[in-house]
Structure 1
């Protein structure tokens, strides 16, 4: 049950993402691959399926030192601790896992799931990410959450006592949300936080209940100007509290950033395990983008028959990889390592476009402590990041 090392050498690392696809209920804003089952899930069968797919992925990517493991979902806190333990044992048996790696499990803060936290800690989990979303009961009801604010606060307390690291999510830019209301709620969240907060603006995604309700005019979310004001307030408050943004929506005490998510944002590689999991693996012919079958029971059938349920395996072109590196890396306060960008993709950023963006105050170049040249978005650039990335990648 090792604690997480604070050492970060700035490299992307190699992670393992494990997707548990089941939820007790589907949130109306969620477009993730999550499924509600009204019968008991056969956790032993799924654990065996995870073991088989881990073995297959390890054969594709042998002898890699694992720098992080992340249980996402769905609702991984619906897993029995024994299921988590089985999966972690399989990862240890197929890859090199060093002491001090980050092992995160996403959890919902209902009282029943919080009772399992000690079992997850015993299995090896050393970081929990709680889906709090709001500290206001009426807003939790609007968001379709099954817990109350009191349950969320209680779960935060239990997690702080048990785990070396803790993060929790909040959703803002909700309908009719005022700056003063969010300021009070965010300051309460910071008072409860340990070392990391994920603060997301509410977005309306296609194929969700919120999409249909929003389209019918049942509710409205803040417009671009109001959302920008909420975002800027969020940055000011978290920075002053010692939890600056290291990524556009993620805030941490320096040294406590999410190791696993940094692997994504730094364009590292990871094995995706479980229904609908995506991965990036480097092989002899380049970087491969992989994905598994989304439907849980169909995934399990394929794994039992074939040892895996891969349905996508695409070799990325240099241009594809360049786009991904910009799309992910420009989300970070540390930005993109320009030497690595060019060495990896063989592509250089157009100096004319770069100079134009600098002239408009959207990006800036800088050199890190290791002497690596970097490019990052300015605070103004973060507000229109999609447009900045599109211009750089054109």
Structure 2
């Protein structure tokens, strides 16, 4: 398929990203609030063995809809398989989906192609098959290096599995990243230091560290409500964030988003795309899509057609069985969609820009911000203002919600 040249807007390549959600897991972790299922076969074509084929059928429906409504996206600049556990599927299935993306939209030379992986579900042969099929990055769900913390989080892998996975990725020539979670009930500061140092010692060039968030309806949420687990403490999590920032920075990994650190040049381009508010198509049950330039608000054409470009956000049907039935019926499997107004787009631009090291580009706000109300945050050590960009300090990262709220108060959106 011939590749269309990338268009350029505001001096940046107009990127297009593809996200594939794989909703299957061997076991659901106690803290997990994602759209995941442990059943092997959920009916309606939504079984693990047929899942790749269903995603390929969805992408063709989505692409046909895009073409019918004048959305001409450039070839994909990044592809990301998330979950759930994408590597619960056969490596050949993930490669087949990637090949279909290449045939449907095209993929730019040098694109970042990532899959998440549970360390339990991959070995050297599996990783090699992914690399041979075009994957060049793998993100391992490490979460902790302390066995007791892993048990609290209901993780099935051992620290040795993570080491083996990273070594397999290195041998296959793939970049690798590990995800950590801090704030688990019973995790001490020394436990957390051990996890961060162990992740650094793996030699990976990218590490994510997320504060544990617990939804009330999860297994862990119910245990906390029953008093059998302690509630995560904000001050404890703030201390652990500072520990991570210090240790990772000393090891040469720089923060580039509140929860992400990387050696220069090893940032996750896919995740940066989200924070830069680019377009992406999400495929799979519960996946979201986002288009900055669109003139309709649903695949059925609900609402009046307009010549004024509007943003569009959509989300797939969450349950795999119902999602599969929609695809079997020849329909884009959206559960709903909404237009994104100019004001909402500016709000999202602010929220996202204030999370990243490159900062919020004030020129994107079109003069909507009262700088006299912003500069006091610089005096308070919450932000820096450099070259027309607002960048959160470490204190500002820890108080990110407060910085965003004060920014909104200073804007006429």
TM-score, normalization by structure 2: 0.86
Using the TM superposition, give the Cα deviation of residue 10 of structure 1 relative to its aligned residue in structure 2, in angstroms: 6.0
Matched, 1:102 2:112: yes
1:381 counterpart residue number: 396
- Unpaired runs of 5+ in structure 2? 1-10, 296-308
Q: Residues 374, 280 of structure 1: CA spacing in aligned structure 2 closer, same or farther, 3 A cutoff?
A: same
Alpha-carbon displacement from aligned partner over 1:133-191 (angstroms, at most 9, x marks no partner): 11122211111111112222222221222242111111122223333332233112101
Q: Which residue of 1 aligns with 2:50?
A: 45
Residue 30 (structure 1) shift: 0.8
The match for 1:55 is: 60
Relative distance call for 1:114 and 1:26 in structure 2 (3 A) is farther
| Post-superposition offset of 1:235 | 0.6
Aligned partners of 1:125 and 1:184: how far apart in 2?
Answer: 30
Aligned to 1:20: 22
8 Å contact 1:78–1:113 — kept in the other structure? no
Structure 1 equivalent of residue 4 of structure 2: none
Cross-structure match for 1:208: 218
Alignment partners' CA distance in 2, 1:275 and 1:392: 34
Corresponding position of 1:3:
none
Q: Is the 8 A contact 1:63 1:96 kept in 2?
A: no
**Structure 2 equivalent of residue 267 of structure 1:** 277
Q: Which residue in 1 is equivalent to 2:370?
A: 350
Aligned position for 1:317: 341
Structure 1 equivalent of residue 407 of structure 2:
392
Q: How many residues align?
A: 377
d(CA) in 2 for partners of 1:45, 1:183? 42
Match of 1:291 in 2: 315
CA shift, 1:13, in A, is: 2.0
Deviations 1:33-53 (A, max 9, x none): 111114596445322221222
Q: Secondary structure at the match of 1:251?
A: strand
Gaps of at least 5 residues in structure 1 are: 1-8, 368-372
Q: CA deviation at 1:116?
A: 1.9
**Paired residue for 1:4?**
none
- 1:309-334 CA-partner distances (Å, limit 9, x unpaired): 01222110112111211222211111
Give the match for residue 366 of structure 1.
386
Residue 229 of structure 2 corresponds to which residue in structure 1? 219
Question: Structure 1 residue 197: deviation in Å?
Answer: 0.6
Q: What residue number does 1:370 align with?
A: none
CA distance in 2 between counterparts of 1:21 and 1:173 reads 25
1:256, distance to aligned residue in structure 2 (A): 0.6
SS of the equivalent of 2:329 reads helix
- Rounded to whole Å, the distance in 2 between the matches of 1:382 and 1:84 is 36
Q: Distance in 1 between matches of 2:223 and 2:351?
A: 30
Partner residue in 2 for 1:6 = none
Query: 1:157 aligned to 2:167?
Result: yes
What's the CA shift for 1:294?
0.4
Which of 330, 333, 337 pairs up with 1:306?
Answer: 330
2:8 counterpart residue number: none
Report the RMSD for the aligned CA atoms in angstroms. Answer: 2.0
SS across alignment from 1:194: coil
In 1, distance between residues paired with 2:191 and 2:30?
A: 23
SS in 1 for 2:389: strand
**For the Cα contact (< 8 Å) 1:131–1:169, is it kept in 2?**
yes
Provide the C-alpha distance between the structure 2 equivalents of 1:48 and 1:111, rounded to a whole number of angstroms.
21
| 71-80 vs 115-124, which moves further | 115-124
Which stretch of structure 1 is more off in the superposition, 70-79 or 348-357?
Answer: 348-357
Deviates more, 1:375-384 or 1:305-314: 305-314
Deviations 1:230-280 (A, max 9, x none): 111111110010011111111100111001000001111100111110010
**Greater mean alpha carbon deviation, residues 145-154 or residues 253-262:** 145-154
Residue 182 in 1 paired to residue 192 in 2? yes
Structure 1 residues 308 and 163, CA, compared in 2 at 3 Å: closer, same or farther? Answer: farther
Contact kept? 1:52, 1:308, Cα under 8 Å: no
1: CA distance, partners of 2:104 / 2:274: 22
Task: After TM superposition, give the deviation of residue 114 of structure 1 in Å.
Answer: 5.8
Contact 1:177–1:222 under 8 Å retained in 2: no
CA distance in 2, matches of 1:235, 1:112: 29
Q: Secondary structure at the match of 1:27?
A: coil
* 179-188 or 375-384, larger mean C-alpha shift: 179-188
Asked if the contact 1:62/1:95 (under 8 Å) is kept, the reply is no
SS at match of 2:403: helix
> Would you say the 8 A contact 2:152–2:185 is kept in 1?
no
Residue aligning to 1:119: 129
